[in-house]
Amino acid sequence: MQRSTMDLWVGLFVILGIGALLILSLKVGNLSTYSRGDSYQLVGNFENIGGLKVRAPVKSSGVVVGRVTDIQFSLESYDAVVTLNVDNRYIFPKDTFASILTAGLLGEQYIGLDAGGDDAMLESGDKIMQTNSAVVLEEMIGRFLFDKAADDDDL
Amino acid sequence: MFKRLTSSIQSIGHGFIEYTWQFGFACRFFILILLKSAVSLRRFGLVMRELYFVGVMSLIIILVSGLFVGMVLGLQGYETLQKFGSETAVGTLVALSLVRELGPVVAALLFASRAGSAITAEIGLMKATEQLAAMGMMAVDPIARIVAPRFWAGVISMPFLAAMFSVMGVFGGYLVTVVYIGVDAGSFWSQMQSNVDFHYDIVNGFIKSCFFGVAVATIAVFQGYDAAPTAEGVSRATTRTVVTSALVILGLDFILTAFMFRGVS
């Protein structure tokens, strides 16, 4: 085979391969919309994080604005300390409310941020003061039974 | 009775020594290739020629199998996921299983049977017809001239082939679930994109395919170089290439997976 045709085919092969890697990272992995580079850290204490995991999304009004980067148990307050990385484009007021929610019935858990009305904004390293724990099914059933028993007593 | 016992123990010992010797030889051979590859990388035309035979000629089988594997994954995934009412997650299923596991592993298995066996047969036949010895007589190092270019062609083309396999698989899954069954295209892509992580999934899959490329290329050239210089020896070496490659790929895959995905998610 001619040398130049072979070079052409190999060139095509390499271009196809790099193209496939690009498609994988941009279209499948969605590298284009979320980068770790420019983000700031927030910390929140939760009484119960349920099934929240590191790398879970942080959403506000359903839009992904960041990721959970670290979960620790604090021996000072005996609760979970969750570190969030929020994209620099999104800044939130000081009185923002963070709650652990579930996507769908069997979906993964994520952190929802509800913006408050404060003029001062959260900065890197700040702590989110108002948090809402994950809903634990057993606790909910327990409360329901307790209420039911109280209702029955009234009758 | 006693004689039979000793002879069976002897055969175990013989086999063990044989395999250990072969393994050691393969490792030394691998280092020898790396040491002598400077020459072949400087004359890149040699590697280019092998890239054509090893990489470009494997394209068809890789692309077609990738497409069909993706289509089957789409069908099977839809079948199971629709029982839970989460058929939109089929995109995630197809992409994750392809990028993490099936892409690198199946592409490497196909590559070993398509290109690895060809490399072994070629080198083995060169040895059987004493072409390698003739080269040595002419002061041309057969490892630098024949073995190293084929090794590097295998190492370079494997990650590309695995990536193309994954892309074709995702496309096949898209064809079956979105075009044929009618899952919503928007949720197919968005679920996939929100659950596939660049560093965690795609980079790890890429690293896997690089490891497989080195393993398959080493096994193929070693078996060819080590083949008995007869027609039967070459055919045995070709078989050994495919069998050993398959075992090494699957074993290595388990080890790599254990290191990469330790449930950190």
Backbone angles phi, psi at B164, to 5 degrees: -65, -40
Segment A63-84 shows an average pLDDT of 88
Q: A28: nearest CA in chain B?
A: B193
Q: B196: nearest CA in chain A?
A: A29
The complex's ipTM works out to 0.73
Residue A71: Cβ within 10 Å count: 15
Whether residue B260 contacts residue B204, with contact meaning beta carbons closer than 8 Å, is answered with yes
User: How far apart are the C-alpha atoms of B212 and B235, rounded to whole Å?
Assistant: 23
Q: B60: nearest CA in chain A?
A: A13
Q: Could A25 and B198 be called an inter-chain contact, meaning their C-beta atoms sit closer than 8 Å?
A: yes
Upper half-sphere CA count for residue B88 (Cβ side, 13 Å): 13
Segment A80-104 shows an average pLDDT of 86
pLDDT in tens, B75-101: 999 999 888 877 778 888 999 999 999
- Residue B61 CA: distances (Å) to CA of A153, B32, B70, B121, B168: 74, 32, 14, 19, 12
Name every chain A residue with its beta carbon within 8 A of the beta carbon of B56: 9-10, 12-13
Domain layout of chain B by residue ranges: 44-260
Q: pLDDT band at A33, cuts 50/70/90?
A: low
pLDDT in tens, A80-91: 999 988 888 888
Q: How does strand A109-114 pair with strand A97-102?
A: antiparallel
Q: Could B84 and A106 be called an inter-chain contact, meaning their C-beta atoms sit closer than 8 Å?
A: yes
Question: Can you give the pLDDT at residue A37?
Answer: 62
* Torsion sign over Cα A123, A126, A132, A137: positive
Q: B103: nearest CA in chain A?
A: A24
Q: pLDDT band at B265, cuts 50/70/90?
A: very low
DSSP state of A136: P
Question: Can you give the pLDDT at residue B238?
Answer: 94
Name every chain B residue with its beta carbon within 8 A of the beta carbon of A57: 194
DSSP state of A102: E
Minimum-distance CB partner of B160 among A14, A25, A31: A14
* Torsion sign over Cα A21, A24, A27, A32: negative
Domain layout of chain A by residue ranges: 1-33, 39-141
Whether residue B179 contacts residue B78, with contact meaning beta carbons closer than 8 Å, is answered with no
User: With an 8 Å Cβ cutoff, is A140 touching chain B?
Assistant: no
Backbone angles phi, psi at A136, to 5 degrees: -100, 130
Tokens of B149: 């270019």
Minimum-distance CB partner of A6 among B48, B159, B206: B48
